[in-house]
Amino acid sequence: MKKPLLFALMLFSPLAHAQSITVFAAASLTDAFKEIGSAFQNKTGVEVTFQFAGSQVLRTQLEQGAKADVYASASDAQFDPLVKSGLVNGKQTFTRNQLVVIVPLKNPAGIRSLSDLAKPGVKVVVAQSSVPVGQYTRQVFENLSRTSKTSFSQKALKNVVSEETNVRQVALKVQFGEADAGVVYTTDLTPGVRAQVKTIPIAGKYNVVATYPMGTVKGGNPNAAGQFVKFVLSKEGQNILKKWGFLKVK
Amino acid sequence: MTRPSLPLVPLLMGVMLVVFLLLPTLVILLHGLSGGFFPALLQPVVLDALKVSLVTTTITLLLTVGLGTPIAYLLARYRFRGKILLDTLLDLPIVLPPVVAGVGLLLTFGRNGLLGPALTLAGISIAFSPAAVVLAQLFTSAPFFIRASKGGFLAIDRDIEAAARVDGASNGQVFRFITWPLAFPFLLEGMVLAWARALGEFGATILFAGSLQGRTQTITLSIYAALESDLKPALVLSAVMVVVAFTMLGVVRRITARRSRGES
């Protein structure tokens, strides 16, 4: 009789473990946070479980009552409403990110700069506009249009053949060589991706700086969650983020 | 004759499962149909998704029936080498996770896939096009039709066909006037199964066809995309799916019931 009961406990109760927290984090943080998670666990003994997805997905899930202890978003737009509604406490900007254009190694469309994305017939893949990176991408397009006084943004968006629901899907379609170009975070150029794509930097005057906020979720374990936030902000956490290409908070 | 009263324990267990199976569907209907159903239904995102789904699944269904009926007929009526193997292989897409189907399609028809260079040479680009949506649907749904229609052809009494032949009917006439009508309830069931599967296809489509409003974004993809920003269109589309699915099943039940009554 005892064993099934234990099994049921394990299934339904996260409290069955001594100390564990669940962190909802933007998909772009996947690699960096996995490493931070194991470093944190080594140091504190607190087990970290991650759920990585588009920030907007995680936001919806939290609003629908999903249980988590920490929420780390890729944009303020998907974070601030949760603070406002009292679901998330505190707000710490913990890192920054920038955008970059990637093309398949063979570069079938002969893309050499951001402005080439507006050339007719180029197959562009971006994230949909509800995803932070999708919003940033459109901002970059706008910046180029405004600075160069062209209809670049309009033409580039016309070239979009697919709107993905998270940034890793954009990278995937370029890796497969199905798309001629995609716009992703610089941090999406993980070693695995970097070997399979060519990178085309976006000049600073057009680029957007994405700031990442995080906070503890109401109803979670405040102690362990607070500890995790502190760890990400610590020198050790920041070094891991830097290693994966993230920028320091000014 | 009095009906035996229902045994209590199985009844309770059954009720539990029935409630579990029905409750989420009812909740979706309740949410989707409450306040603002029609305004939400008339949003461009919703209309585009409905249009894409309707067009692609119709083409898929035509291809499925046109190409699937002959193979089902051959499998049911003829003996040939490797038949059992072929039969098994044709069931494979039913068991494969849709994402795996998507990867397979990408590696076959994608630009860098097996047939990619040849297709590119011919000026055909499938990925991210409505054709990719159709291929994803065809791959995951055709086996359902083949299975059902094969069962239909097997179930027909061969003596009836033989009798028609004795009366001078040609092979074509036998198929047209005897085999096809008798197998039709099975074929119809297969069509509905395949169509429903095509309508619900997600994993292979999002990987192989991507998601672009008005072009490759089907109802399922649109629900997924909408869930991430605005819940209302997602709920409306979900409710539409439930209503459509229920109507289809109802129509099929009626047709098959009428046919079997008519025959006996």
Between the alpha carbon of residue A142 and those of residues A149, A150, A153, A210, the distances in Å are 10, 10, 6, 16
Query: For residues A72 and A51, is the Cβ–Cβ distance under 8 A?
Result: no
All residue ranges of chain A with pLDDT < 50 are 1, 14-17
CB atoms within 10 A of CB B248: 16
Distance from A16 to chain B by nearest Cα, in Å? 27
Contact B110 A173 (CB under 8 A): no
The residue of chain B nearest to residue A175, with distances taken between CA atoms, is B112
**Residue A248, amino acid:** K
Separation of alpha carbons A73 and A212, rounded Å: 6
Q: What is the pLDDT of residue A53?
A: 85
Contact B228 A131 (CB under 8 A): yes
Contact B225 A177 (CB under 8 A): no
Mean pLDDT, residues B249-260: 76
Contact A176 B231 (CB under 8 A): no
What is the homologous superfamily of the domain B41-263 according to CATH?
MetI-like (1.10.3720.10)
> Which two structure tokens, joined as six digits, stand for B197?
């599967």
Mean pLDDT, residues B92-109: 90
What was the ipTM of the complex prediction?
Answer: 0.70
Between the alpha carbon of residue A73 and those of residues A33, A241, A249, B4, B244, the distances in Å are 12, 14, 15, 61, 37
State whether residue A197 is helix, strand or coil.
strand
Q: What is the mean pLDDT of chain B?
A: 88
Distance from A178 to chain B by nearest Cα, in Å? 6
Among A162, A165, A177, select the one facing B224 at the smallest CB separation.
Answer: A165
Give tens-digit pLDDT for B153-193: 998 888 888 888 888 888 888 888 888 888 988 899 899 98
- A-chain residues near B228 (CB < 8 A): 54, 56-57, 60, 128, 130-131, 165
Question: Domain residue spans in chain B?
Answer: 41-263
Most A CBs within 10 Å, among B108, B111, B218, to test the A interface: B111
Contact B225 A130 (CB under 8 A): yes
Higher pLDDT, B126 or B254: B126
Taking 50 as the threshold, does the pLDDT of residue B102 lie above it? yes
Interior/surface letters B93-102, b for 16+ CB within 10 angstroms, e for the rest: beebebeebb
pTM for this model (two decimals): 0.79
Q: What is the pLDDT of residue B6?
A: 82
Taking 70 as the threshold, does the pLDDT of residue B232 lie above it? yes
Q: What is the pLDDT of residue A232?
A: 96
Q: Which domains does chain A have, with CATH numbers?
A: 3-97+211-243 (3.40.190.10), 99-200 (3.40.190.10)
Q: What is the pLDDT of residue B234?
A: 85
Contact A177 B111 (CB under 8 A): yes
- A-chain residues near B212 (CB < 8 A): 160-163
Pairing label, strands A124-127, A47-53: unpaired
